């Protein structure tokens, strides 16, 4: 019976490994002695076996915990990458907003009631050689004209920032009998050609239809 117990102890201690085969003669002798002691005291062998099982269980639990932590770290890495991408986009938007703000600061602010700045549209209702209406031009932004030497005096009515409002007013004037009414544009107080502001007029029309 003791012989069988001894063999069992040896098999339990060294099964599945090559450790015993690699031991020196002195180490083999010492482990054989320990095996005989376990054979004489089965309770110690039982305790050793239970402690080994507990250790194996703890190792398995730690391995599972490590696997869970690695999975959590992988998820965190993915989240960090997502946040970094969002941060990069926000930085791009901030850069664009700063550039737009800088451009707005550089662009002059036009007072909507200061018709001497920017582009405005007037409706010319006639050109007169023998009538001087210039005395009515001062302090009356809706009634004006141009006085040039040896040229007819051009008279305009109304002043508009929006071309299409000026166009509607022109149509009203024609319905009222002013057949020669037509739109003339001014830029920074100087009369200009309609073709020079046509691009902006077309853009405004396009935005209004969207």
**DSSP string for 85-132:** HHHHHHHHHHHHHHHHHHHHHHSPPPPTT-TTSSEEEEEEEEEESS--
Predicted confidence at residue 167, as pLDDT, reads: 92
- Counting DSSP H helices and E strands in the chain, the numbers are 6, 5
Percent of the chain with pLDDT over 70: 80
The distance from CA 9 to its chain's CA centroid, rounded to whole angstroms, is 69
**pTM, rounded to two decimals:** 0.43
How far from chain centre, in Å, is Cα 28?
71
Please tell me the distance from the alpha carbon of residue 185 to that of residue 35, in angstroms, as a whole number.
Answer: 112
pLDDT at 10 (0 to 100): 52
pLDDT tens-digit profile of 88-101? 999 999 999 988 88
Give the mean pLDDT of the chain: 79
pLDDT in tens, the chain (210 residues): 445 455 555 555 554 344 555 778 888 788 788 777 777 777 777 787 888 888 889 988 899 999 899 988 989 888 999 999 999 999 999 999 988 888 777 666 656 567 778 888 999 988 888 877 777 777 777 888 787 777 888 889 899 988 999 999 999 999 999 888 989 999 888 888 888 887 776 665 555 555
Cα 153 to Cα 22, 45, 139, 141, 169: the distances in Å are 120, 124, 18, 17, 21
- The region that residue 148 occupies, defined by phi over 0 for left and psi between -120 and 50 for alpha, beta otherwise, is beta
In Å, how far from its chain's centre is CA 80? 17
Task: List, for residues 5-21, the tens digit of each pLDDT value.
Answer: 555 555 555 543 445 55
At residue 44, the pLDDT reads 74
pLDDT of amino acid 4: 46
Distance between CA atoms of residues 155 and 140, nearest Å: 13
**Radius of gyration of the chain, Cα coordinates, nearest whole angstrom:** 49
Tokens of 203: 């853009």
State the CATH architecture for 119-209: 2-Layer Sandwich (3.30)
Contacts from 45-52 at CB under 8 Å and sequence distance 24+? 45/9, 45/12, 49/12
The 3-class secondary structure across 31-52, one letter per residue, is HHHHHHHHHHCHHHHHHHHHHH
């Amino acid at each position: 019976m003791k012989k069988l117990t001894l063999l069992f102890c040896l098999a339990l201690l060294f099964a599945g490994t090559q450790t015993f085969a690699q031991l020196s003669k002195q180490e083999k002798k010492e482990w054989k002695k320990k095996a005989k002691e376990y054979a004489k005291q089965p309770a110690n062998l039982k305790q050793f076996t239970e402690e080994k099982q507990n250790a194996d269980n703890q190792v398995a639990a730690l391995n599972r915990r490590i696997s869970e932590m690695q999975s959590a770290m992988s998820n965190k890495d993915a989240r960090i990458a997502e946040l970094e991408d969002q941060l990069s986009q926000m930085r791009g938007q901030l850069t664009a907003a700063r550039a737009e703000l800088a451009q707005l600061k550089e662009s002059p602010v036009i007072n909507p009631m200061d018709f001497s700045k920017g582009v405005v549209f007037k409706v010319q209702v006639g050109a007169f050689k023998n009538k001087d209406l210039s005395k009515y031009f001062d302090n009356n932004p809706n009634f004006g004209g141009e006085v040039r030497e040896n040229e007819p005096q051009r008279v305009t009515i109304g002043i508009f920032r929006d071309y299409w409002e000026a166009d509607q007013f022109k149509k009203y004037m024609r319905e009222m009998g002013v057949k020669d009414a037509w739109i003339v544009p001014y830029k920074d107080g100087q009369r200009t050609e309609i073709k020079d502001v046509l691009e902006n007029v077309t853009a405004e029309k396009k935005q209004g239809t969207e």
